[in-house]
Amino acid sequence: MPRVLVVENDLRVRDALTELLRSWGYETESASEGQEALERIPKFDPVLVISDLRMPGMGGMDLLKQVRETRPGINFIMLTGHASIDEAVEATKLGAF
């Protein structure tokens, strides 16, 4: 079963995404910010990370950069309600969808 890590500081959004993915047959784990996600990745070994861009602590862009350095094969989907064009371009250049 493919594994997806959901990284989102809003508990309602995080739970909704996690439940939706589980209903589609994915194994999921979640984290409330980037540092927590970095700690979960080696043990959980996801094929996909779905992350909010702006979160307290380590945000999604910093998470994406660190994951690209250590685990470049992990796919990334970036979500946000507050993005700028520059952030979207940067995330895309780093391989996020």
Look up the CATH number of the domain holding residue 59: 3.40.50.2300
The token pair at 79 is 């979500």
For 18-63, the pLDDT digits (tens) are 999 999 999 999 999 999 999 999 999 999 999 998 889 898 889 9
Q: In terms of residue numbers, what domain contains 67?
A: 3-93
Task: Give the pLDDT band of residue 92 (cuts 50, 70, 90).
Answer: confident
Neighbours of 70 (CB within 10 A): 10
Cα–Cα distance for residue pair 16/89, rounded to 1 Å: 27
Non-local (6+) Cβ contacts of 10 within 8 A are: 52
pLDDT of residue 83: 62
Q: In total, how many domains does the chain have?
A: 1
From 76, 80, 79, select the one nearest 93 (Cα to Cα).
76
